[in-house]
């Protein structure tokens, strides 16, 4: 057999059929991550750590997928910027990753919970001010107290220049969703200020956990099942569907909601929503699909897989899909390969929408 002569043949090309690369038009995209977390342990330590939530969080943070989190969850400086640069992220929208959220302090200290939310927002503002071209923020709101939430959202948007707010899970030990009439005033303020509400998962209420997710003798498996493996995504979907079928979205037609994790399993259910919740049968003003497509945005949130992204685009539309890395719970350094792969199945202009201009439009700033 004749030997290969390296001088006789040219080297492999760097770009060609089968290669994954950024198309030239995409190289100028300034990617915005809309679900990027930071923790303030000195503040979150005020929330009582009952045996239920403490044990679950210990199991979750001990999961092999959480090794990247170490040291990064509290970092708002050099390491975070380094990771952003390596992942091609121009701007992070910061949010408190306190799980449980500040409303859980309200079970024992309602006024203290209001002050805790304010202090979390002041800390978020400090991080944003340390590098204002790279960071924006979502507010933490004391949702157990709608009146206080109204005041705090006004402060955060008008004085601190925040771009919206995030609620993680349900509201404190009450396990309330936002479809009750007592929350109409705060939802109206989101409309008035034209900023979005990000609905993010958290630990489900104990009664739900015990019945649905607790597997006897296997706390780590239970945590994976009840949290990021399934349960808390399901809870966000329930929250959004309640807002739709309760009439809350119709009462608040200008309310903008963001959910993460490729739509929290809702894209695959769109056909069922429209057939099993018929407008005439239940007296809705719009179909469930129309409500969701007009008022809900979907963030990728570190689920770096093309099939769910394609499902989100196909059911929600390209203008409603946002990029997020879910830092530090997902490795930001994985983002470029995912976005290169996504760029092979969507046009450069659509990739720009997902990574940059959709977020700029809903959050009202330029990256």
The residue among 181, 173, 180 whose CA lies nearest residue 202 is 173
pLDDT, averaged across the chain: 92
Percentage of the chain surpassing pLDDT 70?
Answer: 94
Residues in the chain: 367
* Per-residue pLDDT tens digits for 28-42: 999 999 999 999 999
Closest CA to 92 of 141, 163, 169, 190: 163
Position 191 scores a pLDDT of: 98
pLDDT in tens, 190-241: 999 999 999 999 988 889 999 999 999 999 999 999 999 999 999 999 999 9
Q: In this predicted model, what pLDDT tens digit does every residue of 120-132 receive, in sequence order?
A: 999 999 999 999 9
DSSP assignment of 248-279: HHHHTTT--EEE-HHHHT-GGGHHHHHHHS-H
Whether the predicted pLDDT of 321 surpasses 60: yes
**What does each C-alpha distance from 236 to 81, 101, 106, 230, 257 come to in angstroms?**
30, 15, 21, 11, 11
When comparing pLDDT for 27 and 252, which is higher? 252
Q: Tell me the pairing of strands 135-137 and 165-168.
A: unpaired
**Residue found by looking up tokens 């969703």 in the block:** 177
pLDDT tens for residues 73-97? 999 999 999 999 999 999 999 999 8
In sequence order, what are the residues at sequence separation of 6 or more whose Cβ sits closer than 8 angstroms to the Cβ of residue 268?
311, 315
Q: What is the pLDDT of residues 227-246, one digit of tens each?
A: 999 999 999 999 999 999 99
Which residues 6+ apart lie within 8 Å of 142 measured at CB? 102, 103, 106, 113, 114, 116, 117, 148, 149, 152
Look up the pTM and report it: 0.94
Pairwise CA distance, residues 179 & 246, whole Å: 7
Least confident of 89-93, 153-157, 274-278: 274-278
């Amino acid at each position: 057999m004749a030997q290969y002569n390296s001088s006789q043949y040219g080297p492999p090309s760097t770009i060609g059929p089968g290669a994954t690369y950024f198309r030239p038009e995409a190289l100028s995209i300034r990617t915005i991550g809309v679900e990027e977390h930071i923790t303030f342990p000195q503040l979150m330590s005020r929330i009582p750590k009952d045996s239920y939530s403490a044990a679950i969080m210990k199991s979750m943070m001990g999961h092999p997928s959480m090794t990247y989190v170490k040291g990064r969850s509290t970092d708002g400086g050099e390491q975070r910027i380094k990771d952003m640069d390596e992942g091609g992220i121009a701007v992070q929208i910061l949010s408190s990753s306190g799980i449980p959220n500040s409303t859980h302090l309200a079970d024992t200290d309602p006024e203290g919970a209001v002050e805790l939310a304010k202090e979390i927002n002041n800390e978020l503002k400090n991080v944003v001010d340390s590098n204002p071209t790279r960071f924006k923020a979502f507010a933490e709101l004391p949702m157990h107290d709608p009146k206080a939430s109204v005041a705090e959202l006004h402060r955060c948007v008008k004085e601190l220049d925040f771009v919206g707010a995030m609620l993680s899970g349900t509201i404190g030990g009450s396990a309330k969703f936002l479809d009750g009439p007592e929350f109409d005033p705060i939802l109206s303020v989101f409309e008035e200020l034209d900023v979005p509400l990000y609905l993010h998962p958290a630990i489900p209420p104990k009664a739900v956990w015990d019945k649905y997710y607790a597997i006897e003798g296997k706390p780590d498996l239970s945590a994976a099942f009840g949290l990021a493996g399934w349960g808390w995504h399901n809870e966000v979907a329930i929250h959004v569907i309640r807002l739709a079928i309760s009439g809350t979205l119709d009462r608040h037609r200008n309310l903008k909601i963001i959910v993460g994790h490729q739509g929290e399993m809702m894209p695959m259910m769109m056909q069922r929503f429209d057939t099993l919740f018929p407008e005439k049968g239940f007296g809705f003003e719009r179909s469930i699909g129309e409500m969701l497509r007009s008022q809900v945005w979907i963030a990728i949130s570190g689920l770096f897989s093309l099939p769910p992204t394609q499902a989100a685009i196909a059911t929600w539309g390209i203008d409603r899909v946002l990029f997020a890395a879910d830092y530090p719970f997902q490795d930001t350094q994985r983002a470029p390969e995912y976005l290169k792969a996504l760029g092979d199945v969507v046009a450069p202009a659509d990739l720009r929408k997902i990574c940059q201009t959709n977020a700029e439009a809903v959050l009202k700033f330029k990256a």
